Structure 1
Amino acid sequence: MTDAAQYSIVFGNETFTFLIERTARRKTVAISVGFDGVRVLAPSDLDDDRVLGIVRKKGAWLLRKQAAYRELGGQAAVKEFVSGETFHYLGRQYRLKLIPDETAVTTRIAARGSTLVAPVLPNGHESIQRAAVRSGLSHWYRAHAIQHFPARARMIAEILGIPTPTVNVVDQSKRWGSCDSRGRIRLNWRLVMAPMPLVDYVIAHEACHVLEHNHSRRFWRSLETIMPDYEDRLRRLDRMGHQFIW
């Protein structure tokens, strides 16, 4: 069970409002920044003052992340789900094309060259048509994530010398991936839109948590050993990530 309480901290001219979410499963404080704000996970037995002290020490980092999101517009991508829009798959650009189809009870996406074809019922209400296309795209991306992610996790696990972790493809807006205390990895299906080197970065990051359940020096050394350019990949994901959130 997770408890949560809201707090605000001011750094410079910026005010950060966030929830401290408490859970008995955590041993350390974890801070993440996403398009929807700051998230703080803390152990159930750590008092508020100590948690807030840890957050304050991350002030400069929080400001840098906030500035980066502001430069990107600070918002997830806005999609209309109409013909001509650009979508990404493993870093490549695809154009969406809606095709009228009297038999299209559900919209099933198909890739043809650099086009994502979406059959839709003709003369349908625009909002219903867009919802159908969005749903179809979500299913298409999720299916391809399920196809690719476990194989990449197996490859990275072999390099690390650990058993192949269980990989679950999930729908989450605040993070690209996570690893629980039993070594099970959860990956956001939207990650399959990113270039494969960035997919591998997220999987490697989470796989290293099978060895180290925190961001200790040993954790970062493990990650650097198997992926010396992980910092560059992380920066690329930070710059590009907003394109994949809709």
Structure 2
Amino acid sequence: MTDAARHSIVFGGEEFAFLIERTTRRKTVAISVGFDGVRVLAPSDLDDDSVLGIVRRKGPWLLRKQAMYRELGGQPIAKEFVSGETFHYLGCQYRLKLIPDETAVMTRIIAKGSNLVAPVLPNTHKSIQRAAVRSGLKQWYRTHAAQHFPARARMIANTLGIPTPTLKVVDQSKRWGSCDARGCIRLNWRLVMAPMPLIDYVVAHEACHILEHNHSRRFWRSLETIMPDFEDRLRRLDRMGHHFTW
């Protein structure tokens, strides 16, 4: 049995509204954050004050998670992976075109003009076909991301006057890029769908973290020095990002 009551807290100047959903099946409190907000699952015998205290203690974590989802620009676009759907690559629109092919053991995407052609086995169940096309598109994008991203990293590293960083193309659904303490930059393969100026913004942002491992004034000055319009690029990425996060 599950019941729910609406609550909210303010932490770090931001308000988090959520439902406390109670169930007899839980022994501890579980908190999740997604594009649709914060969800709190609690044992049915735990009082509101105790649950709210746990949520408040998770305030810094909630802020970080919410920032990650905000970075991606909103709810992902639902895709059916059928002929006629629009997909983006380097800011340009392409139409998906499924082609029946008896020899298509795997769906390997081919770009032809303004189309992304997906050979698929005929007479297969729609759910299996969709999964095959999605997998093929993901591999196609990852391959092209690995072709484009290193050159952008070299260019921006030269501008900053630092060695070219190690770069990895990764599958991270909640952020566009990251930079670890060793200076390794990880970029979300989905970023290759964006126009090149927006790709350069993310690369520059992460490259500047090699110099400054925080968001201090020195960090923002470094970014502004090599990319005076970075704020405009960030706003554009915020507006467009949800188109790239299927």
Alignment TM-score > 0.5, same fold: yes
What is residue 209 of structure 1 aligned with on the other side? Answer: 209
**DSSP-derived class of the 1:87 partner:** strand
- Displacement of 1:75 after TM fit? 1.5
Q: Structure 2 length normalisation: TM-score?
A: 0.76
- Residue 15 (structure 1) aligns with: 16
Mapping 1:192-231, distance limit 5 Å? 192-231=192-231
Q: Which amino acid aligns with 1:136?
A: G
Alignment correspondent of 1:128: 128
Secondary structure at the aligned position of 1:108 is classed as coil
How big is the shift at 1:36? 6.4
CA contact (8 A) 2:166 2:184 kept: yes
Pairs within 5 Å for 1:181-200: 181-200=181-200
Residue 34 of structure 1 contacts residue 174 of structure 1 at CA under 8 Å; is this kept in 2? no
Distance, in Å, in 2 between the alignment partners of 1:216 and 1:36 is: 30
Alpha-carbon distance in structure 2 between the residues aligned to 1:178 and 1:34: 19
Unaligned runs of 5+ residues in structure 1 are: 1-7, 18-32, 39-47
In structure 2, relative to structure 1, the CA distance for the partners of 1:223 and 1:13 (3 Å cut) is: closer
- Does the CA contact (< 8 Å) of 2:9 and 2:56 recur in 1? no
Provide TM-score, normalisation by structure 1.
0.76
Bigger radius of gyration, 1 or 2?
Answer: 2
User: Percent identity of the aligned residues?
Assistant: 78
Helix, strand or coil: the match of 1:105?
coil
Runs of 4+ more than 2 Å apart: 8-17, 33-38, 48-52
Let me know the Cα RMSD of the aligned residues: 3.0
Secondary structure of the 2:234 match is helix
Amino acid at match of 2:168: N
Distance across 2 between alignment mates of 1:239 and 1:223: 21
Map of 1:1-246 to 2, 5 A cutoff?
A: 9-10=9-10, 14-16=15-17, 35=35, 52=59, 74-246=74-246
Q: How many residues align?
A: 205
Opposite residue 204 of structure 1, the aligned amino acid is A
Displacement of 1:114 after TM fit? 0.4
1:178 is paired with a residue whose SS is strand
Q: Which structure is higher in RCO with an 8 Å CA cutoff and minimum separation 6?
A: 2
Unmatched segments (≥5 aa) in structure 2 = 1-7, 19-32, 39-54
2: CA distance between counterparts of 1:242 and 1:114?
Answer: 21
1:107 and 1:120 in contact (8 A); partners too: yes
Three-state SS of the structure 2 residue aligned to 1:238 is helix
Aligned partners of 1:214, 1:91: CA distance in 2, in Å?
A: 29
